[in-house]
A and B are shown apart, each in its own frame.
Chain A
Amino acid sequence: MAVATGERNAVRSAPRAAFFYRPEVRQAIYQVVTVVALAILFYILVTNTADNLRRQNIASGFEFVDRTAGFDVSQSLIAFDNSMTYGRAFFVGLLNTLLVAGLGIVLATILGFVIGIARLSRNWLVARLATVYVETIRNLPLLLQLFFWYFAVLKSLPVPRQSHVLPGGGFLNVRGLYLPSPVPEPGFDVVALAIAIGVAVSIAIHFFARRRQMQTGQRLPVLWISLALIVLVPLGVFLYLGQPLGFDYPELKGFNFQGGMVLQPEFIALLLGLSIYTASFIAEIVRAGIQGVSKGQKEAALAIGLSSGQVLRLVVIPQAMRIIIPPLTSQFLNLTKNSSLGVAIAYPDLVSVWAGTVLNQTGQAVEVILVTMGVYLTLSLLTSGFMNWFNKHMALVER
């Protein structure tokens, strides 16, 4: 009898597993173990580090940023010399990183789109050349390409006396690329104002044209109107005012050039390397994006009488962009992170100035490395945040 009741009870209430076999208990135990293990690891690391720092007589903390740096930096967007502080050196490095990353992103995107579209060209030769470019460049380490541009190409250029003369008053030699620098003269601010007004009016026209298209179905040639407003009108003003812009040309004086502006070979090599390398990845993304637009879309667009240019501009590219943007974002992030390789060719970026020179002079390894990582993390989060916002803007709006 007792057995039978027991069986009936077992059927009524599900058999209870032993305490330690219950999933929720197990999960709690695993998590507690994880937390404790991490805490112990963290404690050991911190005490060891504190111990080691005391042994080496290094005071932790960020007091060192106010001390005089005592070194010079070869390229700087803000005024910097060796009497300034480590803190300012940090910003010099950060700005140099942002400069090369920003320009690199622009160049890599343009080159990548050109090559990606070329890979899909109906012209057999053009498609082949683009394939060779992509397969060669993306299978070579970026660092090797940087070395190639810097040591094998730019560092074997002639000395300033035998510079390559470029059209328009530029010179290329082992010390870098010397270009004429523009010098605004009185009246140039009017031209700048004309450009600013042109941009503002173009944006207004863009919104007006969109509303008009929604209401009447007619399109305005926004691109041409904007070009006229931003380029032609300011150009007219510029000519009317008697060309209020001079150029400071570089001139050979003694052993080096004076005047104009100079792009350091380190900068050129890093910019070239980053753009060419990243372009090969962007090209593949662009190709996949365009191929991802279904063929029916193109055929339908042709069938309703759009020209082939309009099909590309109004139907294919907007849809391809939705596929392209997410991986494109990660390429932009990669380019920014890869700009840290500039340290290997002595480009004064964040890693070279801050995690290199400053770290070696002060010995504040923990603070310096943590700040460096923090900067790159912040850049990553900012870029991906912006691109997510942009992506949401571009995403398919279902009506």
Chain B
Amino acid sequence: MVAETAIAPPVERPPRSAVGPVAWMRDNLFSTWGNTLLTLIGLFIAYQAVAGIVSWGILSATFTGADGSACTREGAGACWPFITAKFAQFMYGRYPGPERWRVDLVYGLALAGLVPLMIPRVPGKFWNAVYVFAVFPVAAYFLLVGGAFGMSHVGTELWGGLLVTLVVATVGITGSFPLGILLALGRRSKMPVVRWVSVGFIELVRGVPLITVLFMASVMLPLFLPPGMTFDKLLRALIGVALFSAAYMAEVVRGGLQAIPRGQFEAAEALGLSYPKRMAFIVLPQALKVVIPGIIGTFIGLFKDTSLVLIIGLFDLLGIVQLNNADQKWFSPTTAMTGYVFAGFIFWAFCFFMSRYSQMIERRLAQGERK
């Protein structure tokens, strides 16, 4: 008896019904009646969505034409020639044609700095950061605005499309980041006046919609300034956006500061470091690392919010699409839809990329914790 039970039974393969695609489908799609019903409903929705998109975007879409009449017919899908005809405008706005290489060069310089900065393996992060945060902005400013080094001046009223979206987003991000750190440090300061000023600013800004801040920047800022002194419209929007996202950034950074153990602050103090040194070399590097995903989340929110500048009369990507949708020459039932799909795809691509990047960073940070 004893010997019999000790003999291991021959290794058998799992039954056919437990492995392979059929078993997977049975487990994940058709395990119960309710589940089967859900699967069928899901299949129906998925089919409708995919069929709708393929039909609208490809099968019944218009690919060539000189104006809206090409897209005006019963059951017409996307009006792609509208996008091809307006593409340059969507990208640069009314930026003069012969000068557009300057915009392209700025994009190229930005990519040259950002790509190595974002890949963790590439060395030389310090000089890379110096380039991105100090050299590049100056170069980009002179390239875009011009008026120096033999380049003609291009006023911001001519800027538009993706250019404005990216400028507002970049300046908003780079402006709100240091300001947000200062506000977060202020909120945790031992000095009551500094603390209350920071708390007041943060809570005030977070309690109101971005539109009111932009309205304030466009309607009230001129009132605040001495007569005769005017601000560029784009600059006003930039100030509004940067101040607005600084408040959100401050809350994210505060979360990071709270995650740093007390011992770190005390050890830094015991070493005799001054406050700026304690913060710059001990506390902030650790705090910011913890909240990188939150910071990128704020960037994504800011990037989407840049579309609001169209309400105060700037033509960002969405604004310029909206403007061209009303073009009589391209009037057709599907012009508006095509424009929004195009703009939406660009916004989506940027935001999706940023969120994926943040997930990657999150995973890397989690790995570091485990070691």
Q: Hey, which bits of chain A sit against chain B, CB under 8 A?
A: 27, 30-31, 34-35, 38, 45, 48-49, 51-53, 55, 121-126, 129, 135-136, 138-144, 147-148, 151-152, 155-156, 337-338, 340-341, 343-344, 351, 355, 359, 365-366, 369, 372-373, 376-377, 380-381
Contact = CB atoms under 8 A, between A and B. Distances in A.
Interface in B196-218: 197, 204, 206-212, 215-216
B193 interface: yes
A151 B335 CA distance: 10
B344 A140 contact: yes
A136 to B, nearest CB: 7
Interface string B302-334: 001111101100000010001001000000010
Contacts of A359: 219
B159 to A, nearest CB: 19
Given A143-B308, A156-B337, 12 more contacts: A48-B224, A49-B220, A49-B224, A55-B227, A125-B46, A140-B347, A144-B318, A156-B336, A341-B211, A343-B211, A369-B219, A373-B204
Nearest to B165: A141
B355 interface: yes
Contact of B39 (A51, A123, A138, A343): A123
28 contacts: A38-B197, A48-B223, A48-B224, A49-B223, A51-B226, A53-B223, A55-B227, A122-B31, A124-B29, A125-B38, A125-B43, A126-B39, A135-B352, A136-B348, A139-B304, A141-B304, A144-B307, A144-B343, A147-B318, A151-B340, A152-B337, A343-B311, A344-B311, A351-B209, A351-B215, A366-B223, A369-B219, A376-B208
A90 B336 CA distance: 33
Nearest to B304: A141
A31 B197 CA distance: 10
B182 interface: no
Contact of B340 (A49, A125, A144): A144
A170 to B, nearest CB: 22
Contacts of A141: 304-307, 318, 347
B318 A126 contact: no
A123 B211 contact: no
Nearest to B34: A123
Contacts of B206: 380
The 5 A-B pairs with the shortest beta carbon distances in the complex, nearest first, are: A139-B351, A337-B209, A380-B207, A31-B193, A141-B304
B133 to A, nearest CB: 26
Interface in B157-193: 190-193
A51 B223 CA distance: 9
* Dominant secondary structure of chain B at its interface with chain A: helix
B264 interface: no
Interface in B265-319: 300, 304-308, 310-311, 318
A35 B194 CA distance: 9
B310 A143 contact: yes
B333 A156 contact: yes
A355 B219 CA distance: 10
Contact count band on B: 35 or more
A366 B219 CA distance: 9
A215 B192 CA distance: 51
B301 to A, nearest CB: 10
Contact of A123 (B28, B322, B325): B28
Contacts of A35: 193
Contacts of B304: 139-142
B22 interface: no
Given A151-B325, A340-B211, A30 B191 contact: yes
B21 to A, nearest CB: 12
B45 interface: yes
A2 B191 CA distance: 41
B108 interface: no
Given A123-B38, A369-B212, A34 B194 contact: yes
Interface string B62-106: 000000000000000000000000000000000000000000000
B52 interface: no
Contacts of B7: none
B42 interface: yes
B35 interface: yes
B2 interface: no
A337 B216 CA distance: 16
Nearest to A337: B209
B119 interface: no
Nearest to A153: B337
B134 interface: no
